[in-house]
Structure 1
Amino acid sequence: MIERPIHLELAHRIEFTRNLFSPENSVLADVIARSEGDFPHRVIAFVDGGVVGGNQNLLRDISSWFSARDGELELVESPIVLPGGEPCKNDWSLVPEIWRSISQNSIDRHSFVMAVGGGAFLDLVGFAASTAHRGVRMIRIPTTSLSQGDGGVGVKNGVNFFGKKNWVGTFAVPYAVINDFSFLQSLDTSSRRAGIIEAIKVAIVRSRDFYEKIEQCSAQLKDLEDDVLEKVIRRSAEEHVDHISTSGDPYELGSARPLDYGHWVAHKLEQISAFRIGHGEAVAIGMAVDLIYSKRIGLMSAEDCERVLSLIEAVGFDIYDPDLHRIEEGRSVILHGLEEFREHLGGKLTITFVPEIGRKIELNEMDEGEVLASIDELKGRVEAYCK
């Protein structure tokens, strides 16, 4: 047998700015200039159609920004607009469409694929880029609070297949991520708020200090005050990237997924609601179920459980939806999420729980009766509050 260790040293760069494509902003040019290769650096740009709808001058601004740097950077064709949102991950035809554009423009491994959009759109384009030529350098420009603080700064790409979320996908460290906070201004209230829940999630899993900072500014977060929201998103991005870079398992070869806290319910709830419930709202509800469950089995104190539930509500999230109680063929539909999550993880079921704020443990089984009782308790809590 021949066996040798292979060590990869990859830089994971996250930049923060505003008005990325204004003429005087050089962040993107500086990021690309760090790469090897001949001038001009060649870039193909894909843009989320939903982002274009809220930023009517975006395509013109991108083209003008590159034109002003002719000789240094080459935008190989006008920005390519594709549909975004979760439905784009269900449309496999978009993958070969992106491949075709990469091929027709002779984009190679020294070129750049730039994607501007929400988390689902970045997943789609990132998957296509990571499989073209076995991987073309990818620049992600997340445009939502969720993607700027969590999904867009990670190393995962994927599309949905067989009706299962992210069933086809890759792990690939992007060449760079650029968070442009000005994009948040065009979002509706729900979309701006969504990223806060992922900040709370990563805080209760790994940083009591961050959690307490979120508590202290919960009123400003509920009102979506720009400066406070941006600080929380920036810290959320830092915590997520720190976990990826220091956990020893960036490509998730093991079974533990601490950054997926609350997500076994969330993924199933999104699916059974036909995505009526967005990812942020689903994660808030999923965390609430797991918090109640932790309290019921004696893992978390009632005080800590109520403290976190109250914070989730204080920043503007609902913690219950009737689809949690959906029954099909005599069985709770939400419980199917446990087996699907186990399959997603690989190996044995491993669910992250929080015995106290800032500390996590892993459990390898859940009592289905207690899960259903937790959902009932959550419903009762909400109904009592509404009376």
Structure 2
Amino acid sequence: MELKPIKQSFSVQYDYQLHFTKDLFHKENPLFLNIIKNYKDHEPVKLFFVVDKGVAESHPLLLKKISSYCAGHPRHLNFTQSLVIDGGEQSKNHSEYIDLVLRGINENAICRHSFVVVVGGGAVIDMVGYAAAIAHRGVKLIRIPTTVLSQNDSAVGVKNSVNIFKKKNFLGTFAPPYAIINDSDFLATLEQRDWIAGIAEAIKVALIKDREFFQYIADNVLALKERKLEPMQYVIYKCAEMHMQHISQGGDPFESGSSRPLDFGHWAAHKLEFMTNYELRHGEAVAKGIALDVTYAQLIGLITPDELNTILEVMKAIGFDLSLPLASEVEVEQLLAGIEEFREHLGGQLTITLISGLGEKYDVHEIDMSKMKQAIEHLNHQMAVK
């Protein structure tokens, strides 16, 4: 008897929302309560909070406000614990942090109808999201990002990851959160470099998708640098909206293909983060990666010298240091090795997103290494002169 293949196909719809608020855990703010009630209204829902240590220190009343908020709504919110862990990229580099979160999920009996609620920067959100995705094959996650970069980029997507084998995001999952909540109060305590760093992702998405958005950033560089909240909130909103639209409308939300335009500038950024032992913030590295790739784009004739100068001047005016920290030819080669690592990360064919104009993405499938070396020299020379 011939056994024919059994074929099956199915689709799964994912829905999640990005909310905007201020003072989320104030007793009179109903947003968090309503999000949980919309999930389950007939019994209390278990909540396990994981909080970035730096955020807890900058907002000393936060942990008390979280527990008090939950205590004020016992019919719907069942607070179990707030686990405080170190923030920054180190939280993605060491398995001990994943183990802490998994232990907390286990000890607090968090099931697939409970929630892990992560409060922190992009690295902590990445790591906690990974732990939540592998516990019980996936427990529900609410992200509360606290930096510009996490509010406009890393926390609004569907990816979770940690670093291993000296490679960024080598382990990871595609697991959409139940909800994301952007609370503008967290932005007030950011260091200046963290305030600025997140703007790199907005510049990235503007350059590949929306010339008018890039012009808005260019027109508001001083206000953004001086920490004016209104233009920053618009930049966060617009950037997040464009990222989420790309995920839902791009036709490849789980990145099975090789084209990842939202990784514009990232092949170099990921390598630079590793080479500097993550002393560079992700956004700072992305700014350098964008500067390098647009310089390369100009050298191969995709954009004009005027367009290149406009891009670099906008980033410099915001406060980015665009020089590449490469002290030797060995380090140049080490950086260029990031191109092959990026190809491997993509899964086969190399696809590097460049631009052919402001707001116009342009994919290439090979890199002229001599031209890229020239771009490195040109960019560093230009930054040294000016």
TM-score, shorter chain, exceeding 0.5? yes
Aligned 1:17-56 pairs, distance under 5 A: 17-36=21-40, 38-56=42-60
- CA displacement at 1:12 relative to structure 2: 2.3
SS of aligned partner of 1:126: helix
Distance 1:361 1:162 in 2: 31
Between the aligned partners of 2:210 and 2:374, the Cα distance in structure 1 is: 29
Q: Determine the C-alpha separation between the residues in 1 that align with 2:160 and 2:196.
A: 23
Q: SS where residue 95 of structure 2 aligns?
A: coil
Q: CA deviation at 1:37?
A: 6.8
Matched residue SS, 1:10: coil
Query: 1:179 — aligned with what?
Result: 182
CA apart distance, 1:294? 0.3
**1:342–1:326 CA distance, 2 compared to 1 (3 A):** farther
Is 1:384 aligned to 2:385, yes or no? Answer: yes
Q: Residue 96 of structure 1 aligns to which amino acid in structure 2?
A: D
- CA pair 331-381 structure 1, distance change in 2 beyond 3 A: closer
Is 2:292 aligned against 1:293?
A: no
User: Which residue of 2 is the match for residue 314 of structure 1?
Assistant: 317
How far apart, CA to CA, are the structure 1 residues paired with 2:279 and 2:87?
16
Matched residue type, 2:73:
R
Residue 370 of structure 1 aligns with an amino acid whose one-letter code is K
2:122 equivalent in structure 1: 119
Corresponding residue pairs, total? 382
Deviation for aligned residue 1:374 = 0.4
Give per-residue Cα distances to partners, 1:243-271, cap 9 Å, x unaligned: 11110111111011111100111111111
Report SS of the residue matched to 2:270: helix
Who is 2:337 aligned against? 336
1:219 — aligned with what? 222
Spell out the pairing of 1:234-245 with structure 2 (5 A cutoff): 234-245=237-248
Counterpart AA for 1:51:
V
Deviation at 1:36, TM superposition (A): 3.8
Deviation of 1:3 after TM superposition, in Å, equals: 2.8
Among 67, 74, 80, the residue aligned to 1:70: 74
Moved >6 Å (runs of 4+): none
In structure 1, C-alpha distance between the alignment counterparts of 2:267 and 2:243, rounded to whole Å: 18
Normalised TM-score (structure 2): 0.96
Structure 1 vs Structure 2 CA RMSD: 1.3
- Does the 8 Å CA contact 2:36/2:76 hold for their aligned counterparts? no
Distance 2:174 2:325 in 1: 35
CA distance in structure 2 between the aligned counterparts of 1:69 and 1:267, rounded to whole angstroms:
43
Q: How does 1:1-387 map to 2 (within 5 A)?
A: 1-36=5-40, 38-77=42-81, 79-323=82-326, 325-328=327-330, 332-385=333-386
Equivalent-residue separation in structure 2 for 1:383 and 1:331 (angstroms):
17
Deviation at 1:326, TM superposition (A): 3.6
SS of 1:177 mapped into structure 2: strand
Identity %: 43
Give the distance between the partners of 2:328 and 2:10, measured in 1 at CA. Answer: 48
Matched residue of 2:124: which SS? helix
- 1:363: Cα distance to partner? 0.7
Gaps of 5+ in 2: none
Give 1:97 shift.
2.0
> For 1:54 and 1:99, how far apart are their aligned partners in 2?
25
Counterpart-to-counterpart distance in 1, 2:376 and 2:83: 44
Superposed displacement of residue 13, structure 1: 0.6
Contact 1:37 1:110 (C-alpha < 8 Å) held by counterparts: no
Whole-angstrom distance in 2 between the partners of 1:121 and 1:367: 36
